[in-house]
Amino acid sequence: ENVDPKKDGQQLEQITVFHDADNFNVKHPLMHNWTLWFTKPPSGKADNWNDLLKDVVTFDSVEEFWGIYNNITPTSELALKSDYHLFKEGVRPEWEDIQNKHGGKWAYQFKDKRSVPIDELWLHVMLAAIGETLENSDDGEVMGVVVNVRKGFYRIGLWTRTTGKPIPGGGDGDNAGGKGRNAEKGKEVLMGIGRRFREVLRLRDNEVVEFSGHIDSQHAGSSRAKAKFIV
């Protein structure tokens, strides 16, 4: 069959939002679907955690991300005890979730709330998550990112599937939690993610991000578990 190249070319014409913000026909897909969650501050009454943690929206394109970001309260304007969580679709942003319970998190607390550009830093962390630049393609560790607004600090965290060790149901392969990924490689993957995370947060040389396992955090009775790794 003869395909008229001109006609074919017309069919393939790709109009992006940059060409025409009101009439585009292609959008930029993300590698994963992401869900934005919000934790409301407790009202003081008998609040149930499940009533406070709400999923806001799930999206799968760069364009939609910006529609959301441009029309939602910035972190700097949230009340104390609020959180935003941006997680891969299907993962609840709680350590009890079956996909999180063997994992851990990299985290950094910004204690000087007035001088830290928290909106910009949180935006950059979200962009690194949805743009998939926090880990290598086969690492399989990143579950989501979170920002906590507290009285004395902002904290930004990055949750991982494992603590660098095999996990139940992780299989035999060289994947996150698989038996084929030895302890040395498991640690190196997490350290690589930690280094990229601290780069996104633009930390100074004397500021470190700490990694701790969720279960260790629970046993410590608070989120101040002893750091397993630092970078």
Interacting residue ranges for other proteins, rule: CB under 8 A:
12, 14, 16-19, 21-31, 38, 40, 54-57, 59-74, 77, 79, 124, 127-128, 130-133, 137, 200
Please give the structure tokens belonging to residue 50: 């499940």
Long-range contacts of 168-176 (CB under 8 A, 24+ apart): 168/102, 174/138, 175/138, 175/140, 176/139, 176/140, 176/141
Shortest distance, CB of residue 26 to other proteins, whole angstroms? Answer: 5
Shortest distance, CB of residue 60 to other proteins, whole angstroms? Answer: 8
CA dihedral 159, 161, 165, 166 (to 10 degrees): 170
Please tell me the number of Cα atoms within 13 Å of 218 on its side-chain side.
11
Shortest distance, CB of residue 84 to other proteins, whole angstroms? Answer: 9
Shortest distance, CB of residue 118 to other proteins, whole angstroms? Answer: 15
Q: Which CB atom, from 46 or from 79, has the smaller least distance to other proteins?
A: 79
Q: Which CB atom, from 17 or from 191, has the smaller least distance to other proteins?
A: 17
29 contacts 39 by C-beta, under 8 angstroms: no
Angle (CA) 207-211-214 rounded to 5° is 145
CA dist., res. 52 & res. 39, Å (int): 5
Q: Which CB atom, from 73 or from 182, has the smaller least distance to other proteins?
A: 73
Q: Which CB atom, from 77 or from 112, has the smaller least distance to other proteins?
A: 77
Q: Which CB atom, from 10 or from 23, has the smaller least distance to other proteins?
A: 23
Shortest distance, CB of residue 179 to other proteins, whole angstroms? Answer: 26
